Structure 1
């Protein structure tokens, strides 16, 4: 017993002495927030760090950290370093650390290293890791990488256990080379960024000037009632047309389902306004009034349908755009960073997730609507002009309609996007921004679906749709003129030739490259396919399904051809305001049509559910059949929906899609398509932590993306899209 008491006393004295030595060192150093603990290092000479960086790290051990944390600067720096968490088997190698805590320190900077993970030890495929470090600002990019392999030297003894896991995981899994290192630094404005700000400033000046001119021109003049040209207190020289009525003058001028909800906005220039000398409405004043904010806002918010249009298209546009945003919101974390990627892939077995996986069919809906509108309004215009058709005006009109808003978004993304996000994860994922500096001209020429050769390396990758739609528009006169001159026979022959060529080409390409649908993987994985070879990421997307089939016009034209046929039929059929559904033949024909259309719509969306649920691989023949006919099936279903609603067989479905509530949102479709991926980047890359994938969190992200996208679309449409559309019409009418 005495021996045990003696042993206990010796241990207590030893522990107390060590504690006092730690708290009161003999060198007499003073600590501004109380006496610090003495820091003991295993090795203060890391071989791989530069001398200046090493010196700054060693000095930080004796400098105060944050006021609310009674620790040294080095403690806070180490605490800000990214550390491994649970879910490594789910590829959770996004160890961001604390960006905010690091940047609160003085003389430090946060760096994010994108590195390669060797998955052999975990039994997973090679993947990337993003590890954040906090280092003195005198350190260079190489120090940011080497810091992770110098933890043995810089971590104090009392932090040893806390950082043991990080050291083990780095040595065991991470290759000692980084594909990209981004450090948080203050970036001066570059020349092209200044140019982008100048363009934005010029547009703001035009908006203010146009609004003032429009307000001035709308003010009544104080003219005596005895004047001969006044009758009944009304100025006979002032047009009584409203903005909406004026825009209805040139109905039938629009051919793109994304640009306008009505077939045309109409010309401001078509308002024959006659004012006294003080309010003379010249061509230049009308040009400035195109930028009038009050006019453009009222037009966007106007819920009235124009005459001679197909009202159900408005609702189809809105829901198709919402579906695209839904799919992108759920799949975007796979591209920008997700801490539970495996759980995300497991969700493909849920039947509700088939809507997410197959949201690309919404784009085919736009192809159907685009082809229909091109055929419908061009036939009407050619008929009104006595059969004359100007190819130059046809193409110039389309280019001038799409390009201004498109190029403005591209300009803002290329010159200003690098300043929108603060965290380094924003800058490290700005590959698309860097591609725009090199390949912006391919977007201007609408060939970005061909060059660069794969979707991942393109500028504004989501704008492949605009390139396809422009290319379809270029060849559409062949079908339109055949239909105009030879009627049903001409249309049938040209569509049959193009359709059969497209289907055969799609089937052959799928067979030659042996594309397969694997139920154990996300369907969208084919779009961004990376393999890690010899410590480097090698893109194999050039031979993937998207680069060969997904964004190629000869494989995607089938829905557009269906739209051309629907437009021809709608042009031939009179608009039916009251349904003849009560007649027995018509009733049974409509019921059969709706039943077939329902099967055609549901089959491509839910047809692969069994494959995903069983995690099987679809056979080669079944894959060829699905890739070849799935989009045609969807297009035929949408075509029946439009045709039935126009012919009076839509019932409540037509009433729902034709409701005036969809019209303002429908007018913003084109702008929403351009801006919604940028909103997703801001949502997901503006976070300090990786996205954790759950249904609840993704619904919240989706609602935020939906509201944010349409808010940005409203601003873009009012300030850029509508003014330049009006200017184009004003120039044509001059």
Structure 2
């Protein structure tokens, strides 16, 4: 027991010791891993000797020094005195509080500088008379991360269990004094009290009310359909929009009946699980969509978990040394896959709709339909983030994680609902649910779509010229902006950050080399991401004019597959020599790569799509058209909305940091995939599927194309684009 509490007792009583040798110039405050370990080994003594020295320094005279030297409150001093005395009497609560502190362990040289201790052990340590109530604090001592674009240099983070009478101000006063003693420039220290305090304000009440109402509607609607199916089964046959009343024994289901069951899990699940593949559908898109979303989850599982692991040096070294990991760090191209799919379906289905309606398209209804289809599920997720999500976890890391999400959405939620969050706030890292930047881009591209559709349909040569011009302009703007702001490809930014972790001795008053403050502008702004969408529109146009059958010779097919495969593999793996070598590209070369890599990636996808649709896909088409992908592809929008919340929850509701490894990454990925899919199904049943059913009724979507220009206008998005003749993937 004494061995376990040795270091914690030293830390707790360092401020009341007569000698300052324990913290005067201790690398504990400098926080260089190699120096810290060297210092510990050089000063290692027997357990008994250290404990004796500490006990000798526990006196009223030294306790009073806390007040004089560190400006600690009288209440805190009294509680610390009692804690020290009770620990000498081996009181269970005192030993428990000391045992819960974060401790120096193995793996310091691998980046194990986060010692959160045991959060729940601290909270459960209470003395019998209740005079000392434990409170958990975390303290950070290291360099200021601000000049490094938010990237922490190696610094020490320690969890501690103090009497609640010791306020956050008391702890910070001690830390500030310790930092001042070191006289090391750039070093700072601060403490936090990670308490997950739930306040029942307006947002919480609205969130619980809305979710409860939706659940109630689902239950009532499901029960109504279940009873109707059992009571009127012989009379309910086929759907028809010609009836406006609830069906009777001699009538088919009418609009009121359809509205009544719009929230029913029975009918909505039946639609979700329908795997019928009709002639003329682009079936390979189901697999492309699901696999692309899985790639997104894999990339986010890797990136989000990096700073929640206790061996970040191992992670950085593994990334640099292993060729295969490039497929994970280059997962950003999965986003371009979705832009491509979106543009393809908008062009392909929009042109078919215009042909049915003699070149007419109701643009306003097109925008309205899409906004209504996208926004309810999106808004519900934002509402949950600011109301219910904070209630779903606890732990030393959870309060800060959920508070950051909630505070950003409290302020900037309106930008998301207007789909301008990739433009405002100016610092895109401050947007509500930051991963939703994709939706803003996609919606903005959709606003431009009628211009391209009209020109392609009425004046094909002009339309092709317009699309090509905008594609070229996007590439030029991306390249020019990249060169002007000195940007590197994303994977090389990861490489430079890995280099920072492996070799932390860099100046602290400059930005990380090649880590530009404009990185989010290059990644999130619509003028830099439009290229992938336009490649999709050109592909949709090719399929439209060729009626889904592009005839090619065997030589052309072979050349196409080989070229597309080499090109996309080169995009994903081609920069590994620079990653391994630790160097960056020439600025002009990097700008060229940033400008063309994403459109070229989509050109490779365009070949895959055209080949599969035209009958040249072989086993690739068989795999991508697998019926099991159809229901999963229908849930990808909701999966996209909720999966970061799942990852944050998994990483932030634990007491200690995870130990990174390939096994851990796979566990994190598959756990996220399964949990996100289950939650996405619930979200779909609560809001997305009912809204879709109601919109079918409101827009009379089952009627003939001649009766409604909007009936077959594509409402493509990640989750559920229209595939053929208005049959959406949901």
- Fold conserved between structures, TM > 0.5: yes
Q: 1:276 aligns with which of 230, 242, 248?
A: 248
The structural deviation recorded for 1:337 is 2.7
Change in Cα spacing, 1:509 to 1:346, as seen in structure 2 (3 Å) is same
3-state SS, counterpart of residue 522 of structure 1: helix
Partner residue of 1:351? Answer: 323
3-state SS, counterpart of residue 644 of structure 2: helix
- The answer as to 2:220 corresponding to 1:209 is yes
Q: 2:166 aligns with which of 101, 123, 139?
A: 139
Q: Is 2:495–2:582's contact at 8 Å kept on the other side of the alignment?
A: no
Partner residue of 2:649? Answer: 682
CA distance in 2, matches of 1:174, 1:55: 34
Cα deviation digits, residues 104-133 of structure 1 (max 9, x gap) = 1122121223554379xxxx9745543212
Cα deviation digits, residues 606-641 of structure 1 (max 9, x gap) = 111111111111111220111011101100000111
Q: 1:616 aligns with which of 558, 572, 583?
A: 583
3-state SS, counterpart of residue 237 of structure 2: coil
Partner residue of 1:594? Answer: 561
**Which protein has the larger Cα radius of gyration, Structure 1 or Structure 2?**
1
CA distance in 1, matches of 2:330, 2:595: 15
Change in Cα spacing, 1:188 to 1:436, as seen in structure 2 (3 Å) is closer
Q: 1:480 aligns with which of 453, 460, 464?
A: 453
**5 Å matches for 1:352-431?**
352-430=324-402, 431=404
Change in Cα spacing, 1:168 to 1:298, as seen in structure 2 (3 Å) is farther
More displaced 10-residue stretch of structure 1: 549-558 or 286-295:
286-295
Change in Cα spacing, 1:446 to 1:537, as seen in structure 2 (3 Å) is farther
Q: Is 2:176–2:189's contact at 8 Å kept on the other side of the alignment?
A: no
Q: Which runs of 5+ in 1 are unaligned?
A: 1-36, 152-166, 223-233, 247-268
- The answer as to 2:72 corresponding to 1:105 is no
Cα deviation digits, residues 275-324 of structure 1 (max 9, x gap) = 22798956444223110011112222222224542000000011101111
**5 Å matches for 1:626-637?**
626-637=593-604
Change in Cα spacing, 1:547 to 1:270, as seen in structure 2 (3 Å) is farther
- The answer as to 2:495 corresponding to 1:495 is no
Partner residue of 2:63? Answer: 44
The structural deviation recorded for 1:542 is 11
Q: Is 2:339–2:533's contact at 8 Å kept on the other side of the alignment?
A: yes
Q: Is 1:207–1:293's contact at 8 Å kept on the other side of the alignment?
A: yes
CA distance in 2, matches of 1:502, 1:86: 50
More displaced 10-residue stretch of structure 1: 586-595 or 50-59:
50-59
The structural deviation recorded for 1:205 is 1.0
- The answer as to 2:312 corresponding to 1:341 is yes
Q: Is 1:61–1:73's contact at 8 Å kept on the other side of the alignment?
A: no
- The answer as to 2:289 corresponding to 1:289 is no
**5 Å matches for 1:702-717?**
702-717=669-684
Cα deviation digits, residues 141-184 of structure 1 (max 9, x gap) = 22343466799xxxxxxxxxxxxxxx999998994542x62333
- TM-score, L = length of structure 1: 0.78
CA distance in 2, matches of 1:519, 1:297: 40
Change in Cα spacing, 1:532 to 1:725, as seen in structure 2 (3 Å) is farther
More displaced 10-residue stretch of structure 1: 449-458 or 125-134:
125-134
Partner residue of 1:554? Answer: 527
Q: Is 1:217–1:279's contact at 8 Å kept on the other side of the alignment?
A: no
- The answer as to 2:699 corresponding to 1:732 is yes
CA distance in 1, matches of 2:378, 2:515: 26
Q: Is 2:175–2:189's contact at 8 Å kept on the other side of the alignment?
A: no
Q: Is 1:345–1:521's contact at 8 Å kept on the other side of the alignment?
A: no
Partner residue of 2:426? Answer: 453
Change in Cα spacing, 1:279 to 1:210, as seen in structure 2 (3 Å) is farther
Q: 1:75 aligns with which of 83, 95, 98?
A: 95
- The answer as to 2:461 corresponding to 1:463 is no
Q: Is 1:109–1:185's contact at 8 Å kept on the other side of the alignment?
A: no
**5 Å matches for 1:236-251?**
238-240=236-238
Change in Cα spacing, 1:170 to 1:302, as seen in structure 2 (3 Å) is farther
Q: Is 2:635–2:681's contact at 8 Å kept on the other side of the alignment?
A: yes
3-state SS, counterpart of residue 138 of structure 1: coil
Partner residue of 2:296? Answer: 324
Q: 1:563 aligns with which of 533, 536, 557?
A: 536
3-state SS, counterpart of residue 135 of structure 2: strand
More displaced 10-residue stretch of structure 1: 677-686 or 534-543:
534-543
**5 Å matches for 1:152-163?**
none
The structural deviation recorded for 1:601 is 1.1
Please give the root-mean-square deviation of Cα atoms over the aligned residues, in Å: 3.6
3-state SS, counterpart of residue 397 of structure 2: helix
3-state SS, counterpart of residue 218 of structure 1: helix
Q: 1:58 aligns with which of 81, 85, 88?
A: 81
Change in Cα spacing, 1:693 to 1:725, as seen in structure 2 (3 Å) is same
CA distance in 2, matches of 1:719, 1:176: 48
Change in Cα spacing, 1:524 to 1:586, as seen in structure 2 (3 Å) is farther
Q: Is 1:519–1:617's contact at 8 Å kept on the other side of the alignment?
A: no
CA distance in 1, matches of 2:693, 2:55: 71
More displaced 10-residue stretch of structure 1: 651-660 or 545-554:
545-554
Q: Is 1:370–1:560's contact at 8 Å kept on the other side of the alignment?
A: yes
**5 Å matches for 1:223-238?**
235=235, 238=236
Q: Is 1:291–1:723's contact at 8 Å kept on the other side of the alignment?
A: yes
Change in Cα spacing, 1:185 to 1:498, as seen in structure 2 (3 Å) is closer
Partner residue of 1:195? Answer: 206
CA distance in 2, matches of 1:287, 1:523: 54
Change in Cα spacing, 1:534 to 1:648, as seen in structure 2 (3 Å) is closer
Q: Is 2:486–2:516's contact at 8 Å kept on the other side of the alignment?
A: no
3-state SS, counterpart of residue 420 of structure 2: coil
CA distance in 2, matches of 1:702, 1:725: 30
- State the aligned residue count: 627
The structural deviation recorded for 1:364 is 0.6
